[in-house]
Amino acid sequence: MELKKYKKLIAVVVAGGLGGAFFAGFLMPFLIKHNVAGFAFFYKHISGIDKVVERIEKETVIVPDSDYFGEALGAIKPSIVAIQSFSGGRVVRHGTGVIMTEDGFVVTLNTIVPSFVSSVQVWANEQPHRAEVVSRDWSNNLALLKIDAGGLGVVSFNEEMPKLADSLLVVGKYVSFNSTGLVIEPALVTRVQSNVFELKTDYNEGVFGGVLINKDAGVLGVVDYKNRTLVTIGQDTLKEFLEGISLSDR
């Protein structure tokens, strides 16, 4: 009895396979060609489903998280500069600066351009420029530099405080093989109170003197570290630093 069951099962499978081959190879083309019982319309409809799905998959654009700040990085890049401080013919300090005026005034950190260095070089628009230290604010670790250049991109500060859980980006600039690049560090707003906000971010010495930006390239401040904790020097402090300096006379 068992043998008969297996024989019947094998016969059904073989018959089904032959029937399927006959349907796909002969009967279906015949039905489509002659539109028997509207079969051509039905086949066109169901076969079009795959094409629609394929078209949607190809045309749907998914923006990855890594590109969230893409436009902001492109906008901020011309407004920040890479800085190198030399002593004894070699680079002893390096960091980032922020362009404050089109004619070449740049704010950076005192620690990037200490008083003992012999010369300071600023990379703006992919070109090196010799820089002069114009003024210092020792209490806020700020220094003002001047380079002989014009038509520079000026940084745009953001007037609004960030919100809790906002994603921000710390951006610096570095020099490598006579060209510049950006170094970035993500930051998350973990606390906002009055005019003070706290961030969660990793320590990264590559962004010293850089800027903290939002997704619209609005600058929230210049970046410094104290005890490996990020500190933002806001635009109010920067304005106070620049108030006593007559930039037009220099």
How many degrees, rounded to 5, is the angle at CA 141 between CA 136 and CA 142?
45
Half-sphere exposure of 241 (CA within 13 A, CB side): 26
DSSP string, 45-77: HHHHHHHHHHHHHHH-----GGGTTHHHHHHHG
Task: For residue 48, give both structure tokens.
Answer: 């079009």
Instruction: Give the strand pairing for 229-233 and 219-226.
Output: antiparallel
Q: Are 199 and 230 in contact (CB under 8 A)?
A: yes
Q: Which CATH architecture has domain 167-242?
A: Beta Barrel (2.40)
**Dihedral angle at the C-alpha atoms of 111, 116, 119, 123, nearest 10 degrees?**
-10
Predicted pLDDT at 194? 75
Prediction pTM value: 0.71
Q: Are 5 and 13 in contact (CB under 8 A)?
A: no
**CATH 2.40.10.10 applies to domain 77-152:** yes
Task: For residue 4, give both structure tokens.
Answer: 């008969």
Predicted pLDDT at 65? 45
Predicted pLDDT at 239? 87
pLDDT tens track, the chain, 250 positions: 544 554 454 454 445 555 555 444 555 555 445 544 444 444 444 444 333 333 333 333 333 344 678 889 999 999 999 999 999 999 999 999 999 999 999 999 999 999 999 999 999 999 999 999 999 999 999 999 999 999 999 999 998 889 999 999 999 999 998 899 999 999 999 998 877 889 999 999 999 999 999 999 999 999 999 999 999 999 889 988 988 776 655 5
Q: Where in the chain is the domain with CATH 2.40.10.10?
A: 77-152, 167-242
Q: How far apart are alpha carbons 166 and 187 in whole angstroms? A: 8
Q: How far apart are alpha carbons 250 and 247 in whole angstroms? A: 5
Predicted pLDDT at 159? 82
What burial letters (b/e) apply to 65-91, b meaning 16+ CB within 10 Å?
A: eeeebeebeebbeebbbbbbbeeeeee
- What share of residues in the chain are helix, strand, coil (percent, to 5)? 35, 35, 30
Predicted pLDDT at 62? 36
